[in-house]
């Protein structure tokens, strides 16, 4: 796989080796005790590989404290013995290393492995859940593999680990306890509300929460089983479990009412060849960014019991399973400072300046900080060591400071007292601070946005030209563009007759853009391209949008109570601008859309009290549009389009979907009805196949929506 790393810390001599062993042992103990290791995953892996390489070259110098021969890197021994050792997994970091490992395993058992089970490696805390006659009796951490810590006090706070199984069996379920992204956010909110420091990441949160006793608040976690172990008094269950293939073991666990990885979008698969396994590894890795929980690799296991028995286990890891580690998506680095940037609507957004760090194949020097309240909640300080997280194309963000690495020299982050752009006062009444001048503070950005390709699409009106118009006093908002005269433009520097006429032609063409584009150009906070289309399709014309109250706006799919109130308030603020646009002759209706029934009209309300035509969920169409071939469908587009769709931008594709009665979405989920997959479709196609979503090629889709294609296509 591209981006994989096989680097190791180079250890030059015995002293360096001894120091590395001490650092790794200390980090492992902290990781498994509280989750608050000073090393991130990538740093620990490189250190461990360096130790292993040194020991291979100098076997006579191996220290007793070395983590290479110990389960979980040599964590503290717990007080509850495991009935069967709870081992760790060895790691590989590339396709070549994986191929070498599989060849070694097949040499060991003397035959090809009959089947492989492939599943995500969940980034949580390994536990054993003991059930006696179907009732959850005890919860134990991995510890050093031979004994673990009793954390039974956490029973009842873990989703996916029922107090009673569907059958009265005596078994031990082994798996990972973790926090989903949503659980992690809720945990930090509760923790900071009670005076605690926020967790650095979800793994830390799970580790700390699992061991916490007598807290004044409760934090929810999630369990996923990866194995089932028979206890000494399991009876016939033990015999049956011993012969089950691994995949069937997980099916058995799920049947008992326990969460397994089979309930996620990266469900385990049983595959026949190493080539199929490698392809599945690529698929799971591509889905990583879309998951609601962390994974740090993929686990590959010999599926059949006979292969596992013949392979056996070492003192620290089974020989029939391996962890294929993925590149790190989180690293520890230092927060050097905070920049305050002003957006086109006047929002003042903080951005973290970081000591550059390599994450998932790219150098990260900045991260989002959301808003001042977020900085305060996370108790961030300049000079802090911080955990930075990055997944896929998502903007890097800071999870939290690594509080135990503080030296006392860290400084509070200074919040601006006036607008960093224009020096005006700041409205701090909401979580997101805003310059009191709003859009006027960033007039150039606001006009440039309105003229952009996905809004009014005024060709030739780039930021440089907008600056000229603003500096010349010709434009005070984007409605003024439609009042520009030829002589005014010719008087500007570098504006000849041809460029002037072309610009005026493009501005005139913008008058014919549909309402959805005009509304998007307004830049109403909380509404982008997709939401603007839904609003325009639902209300059909600008007058109805402006007359709508918060209750009416909530009938549009995706608009909740708070957003509805904000949109109403902002439309009042934008009234003078909208009036100017109406006077300038811009289109204030949405083609193909029909207005929703007025209150009191027949059919105005359905049985559930909501307006007919309002999209009640992700699969609904967004309002008063006539039914089309995609009515009620949620459609995702991925890859390069060909044929009749080749010249359409992604935004134009989304507009086409909604004109045809569907709802466009950017991500594949269980609610997706159709995926339009063009050339080089990647992770979204793989996810759609996993979920059984219908997949269409560009030609088939173009035929389906032919009546709604733009005239120019």
Q: Is the dihedral of CA 545, 548, 550, 554 positive or negative?
A: negative
CATH number of 634-708: 3.40.50.10190
CATH number of 80-325: 3.30.470.30
What DSSP designation does 414 have?
Answer: P
Segment 419-433 mean pLDDT: 88
Residue 234 φ then ψ, to 5°: -75, -15
382: helix, coil or strand? Answer: strand
| Residue 232: predicted pLDDT | 82
605: helix, coil or strand? Answer: strand
| Residue 532: predicted pLDDT | 92
Residues 75-87 pLDDT 10s: 544 578 998 899 9
> Is the pLDDT reported for residue 270 higher than 80?
yes
Choose from 24-33, 114-123, 284-293, 660-669 the range with maximum mean pLDDT. 114-123
> Is the pLDDT reported for residue 153 higher than 80?
yes
Instruction: Spell out a b/e string for 87-105, using b for 16 or more CB atoms within 10 Å of the CB, else e.
Output: bbbebbbeeebbeebbeeb
Which residue ranges make up each domain of the chain? Answer: 14-69, 80-325, 330-427, 438-583, 634-708
Worst-scoring range by mean pLDDT, 320-324, 453-457, 509-513?
A: 453-457
Worst-scoring range by mean pLDDT, 44-53, 59-68, 440-449, 605-614?
A: 605-614
| Residue 42: predicted pLDDT | 65
> Is the pLDDT reported for residue 27 higher than 60?
yes
537: helix, coil or strand? Answer: helix
pLDDT band of residue 498 (cuts 50, 70, 90) is very high
Q: Which residues are catalytic?
A: 121
Worst-scoring range by mean pLDDT, 110-114, 504-508, 651-655?
A: 651-655
Q: Shortest CA distance to 378 belongs to which of 347, 345, 412?
A: 412
> Is the pLDDT reported for residue 40 higher than 80?
no
Average pLDDT score, the chain: 84
Tokens of 442: 């960033």
pTM of the full structure: 0.53
What DSSP designation does 631 have?
Answer: T
339: helix, coil or strand? Answer: strand
> Is the pLDDT reported for residue 713 higher than 90?
no
Distances in whole angstroms, Cα of residue 1 to Cα of each of 247, 584, 633, 642, 685: 25, 55, 35, 28, 18
Q: Is the dihedral of CA 589, 593, 599, 600 positive or negative?
A: positive
DSSP string covering 65-120: T-GGGSGGGTPPP-SEE-SS------EE-SHHHHHHHHHHHHHHHTS--S-EEEEE
| Residue 400: predicted pLDDT | 75
pLDDT band of residue 580 (cuts 50, 70, 90) is very high
Distances in whole angstroms, Cα of residue 245 to Cα of each of 95, 230, 306, 524, 573: 25, 14, 9, 56, 65
> Is the pLDDT reported for residue 35 higher than 80?
no
pLDDT band of residue 118 (cuts 50, 70, 90) is very high
> What stretch of H or E contains 571?
helix 561-573
Residues 238-267 pLDDT 10s: 888 888 999 999 999 999 999 987 666 577
Rounded CA gap, 172 and 238, in Å?
A: 11
Domain spanning 14-69, CATH architecture = Orthogonal Bundle (1.10)
Taking 3-state DSSP, the helix, strand and coil percentages for the chain, each rounded to the nearest 5, stand at 40, 20, 40
Segment 172-195 mean pLDDT: 88
362: helix, coil or strand? Answer: strand
Percent of the chain with pLDDT over 70: 88
> Is the pLDDT reported for residue 640 higher than 80?
yes
> What are the residues facing 363 on neighbouring strands?
358
| Fold classification of 438-583 (topology level) | DNA polymerase; domain 1 (1.10.150)
Angle formed at CA 362 by CA 37 and CA 323, multiple of 5 degrees: 55
> Is the pLDDT reported for residue 344 higher than 60?
yes
> What are the residues facing 664 on neighbouring strands?
635
Give 247's Cβ-side CA count (13 Å radius).
Answer: 15
Label residue 20 exposed, middle or buried (CB < 10 Å: 0-12, 13-18, 19+). Answer: buried
Tokens of 3: 């981006």
Choose from 289-303, 350-364, 475-489, 590-604 the range with maximum mean pLDDT. 475-489
Rounded CA gap, 39 and 204, in Å?
A: 12
pLDDT band of residue 182 (cuts 50, 70, 90) is confident
May I ask the CATH class of domain 330-427?
A: mainly beta
Percent of the chain with pLDDT over 90: 42
Tokens of 382: 């300049």
Residues 290-340 pLDDT 10s: 788 888 899 999 999 999 999 999 888 999 999 999 877 778 899 999 999
Alpha helices, DSSP H only, in 264-361? Answer: 274-287, 305-311
């Amino acid at each position: 796989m591209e981006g994989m790393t096989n680097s190791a810390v180079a250890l030059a001599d015995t002293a360096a080796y001894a120091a590395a062993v001490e650092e790794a042992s200390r980090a492992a103990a902290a990781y498994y005790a509280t989750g608050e290791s000073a090393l991130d995953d990538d740093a620990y892996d490189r250190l461990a590989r360096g130790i292993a390489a040194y020991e291979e070259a100098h076997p006579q110098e191996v220290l007793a404290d070395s983590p290479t021969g110990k389960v979980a890197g040599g964590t503290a021994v717990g007080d509850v013995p495991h009935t069967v050792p709870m081992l760790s997994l060895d790691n590989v970091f590339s396709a070549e290393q994986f191929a070498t490992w599989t060849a070694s395993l097949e040499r060991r058992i003397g035959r090809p492995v009959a089947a492989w089970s492939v599943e995500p490696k969940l980034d949580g805390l390994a536990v054993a859940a003991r059930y006696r006659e179907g009732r959850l009796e005890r919860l134990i951490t991995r510890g050093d593999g031979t004994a673990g810590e009793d954390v039974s006090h956490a029973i009842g706070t873990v989703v996916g680990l029922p107090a009673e199984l569907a059958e009265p069996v005596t078994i031990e379920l082994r798996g990972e306890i973790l926090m989903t992204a949503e659980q992690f956010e809720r945990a930090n909110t509760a923790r900071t509300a009670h005076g605690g420091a926020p967790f650095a990441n979800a793994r830390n949160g799970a580790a700390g929460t699992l061991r916490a006793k007598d807290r004044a608040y409760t934090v929810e976690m999630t369990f996923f089983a990866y194995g089932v172990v028979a206890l000494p008094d399991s009876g016939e269950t033990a015999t049956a479990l011993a012969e089950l293939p691994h995949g069937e073991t997980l099916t058995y666990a799920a049947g008992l009412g326990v969460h397994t990885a089979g309930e996620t979008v990266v469900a385990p698969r049983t595959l026949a060849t190493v080539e199929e396994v490698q392809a599945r590894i690529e698929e799971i890795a591509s889905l990583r960014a879309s998951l609601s929980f962390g994974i740090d690799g993929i686990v590959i296991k010999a599926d059949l019991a006979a292969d596992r028995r013949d392979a056996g286990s070492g003192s620290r890891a089974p020989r029939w399973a391996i962890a294929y580690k993925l590149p790190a998506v989180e690293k520890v680095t230092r927060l050097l400072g905070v920049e305050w940037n002003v957006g086109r609507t006047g929002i003042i957004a903080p951005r973290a300046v970081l000591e550059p760090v390599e994450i998932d194949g790219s150098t990260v020097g900045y991260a989002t900080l959301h808003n001042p309240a977020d900085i305060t909640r996370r108790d961030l300080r300049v000079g802090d060591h911080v955990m930075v997280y990055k997944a896929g194309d998502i903007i890097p963000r800071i999870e939290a400071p690594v509080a135990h690495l503080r030296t006392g020299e860290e400084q509070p982050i200074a919040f601006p007292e006036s607008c960093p752009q224009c020096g005006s006062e700041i409205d701090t009444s909401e979580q997101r601070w805003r310059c009191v001048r709003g859009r006027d503070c960033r007039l150039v950005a606001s006009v440039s946005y309105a003229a952009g390709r996905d809004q009014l699409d005024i060709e030739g009106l780039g930021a440089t030209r907008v600056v000229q118009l603003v500096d010349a006093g010709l434009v005070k908002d984007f409605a003024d563009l439609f009042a520009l005269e030829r002589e005014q433009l010719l008087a500007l520097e570098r504006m000849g007759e041809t460029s002037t006429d072309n610009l005026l032609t493009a501005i005139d063409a913008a008058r014919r853009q549909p309402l959805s584009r005009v509304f998007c150009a307004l830049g109403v906070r909380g509404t982008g391209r997709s939401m603007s289309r839904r609003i325009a399709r639902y209300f059909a014309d600008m007058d109805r949008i402006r007359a709508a109250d918060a209750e009416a706006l909530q009938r549009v799919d995706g608009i909740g109570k708070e957003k509805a109130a904000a949109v109403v308030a902002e439309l009042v603020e934008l009234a003078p601008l909208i009036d100017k646009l109406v006077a300038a002759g811009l289109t204030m209706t949405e083609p193909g859309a029909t207005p929703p029934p007025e209150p009191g009209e027949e059919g105005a309300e359905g049985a559930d009290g909501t307006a007919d035509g309002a999209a009640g969920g992700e699969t609904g169409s967004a309002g008063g549009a006539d039914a089309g071939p995609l009515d009620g469908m949620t459609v995702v587009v991925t890859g390069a389009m060909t044929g009749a769709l080749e010249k359409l931008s992604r935004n134009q594709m989304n507009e086409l979907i909604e004109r045809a009665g569907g709802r466009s979405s950017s991500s594949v989920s269980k609610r997706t009805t159709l995926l339009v997959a063009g050339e080089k479709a990647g992770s979204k196609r793989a996810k759609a196949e996993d979920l059984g979503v219908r997949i269409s090629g560009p030609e088939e889709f173009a035929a389906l929506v032919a009546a709604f294609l733009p005239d120019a296509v």
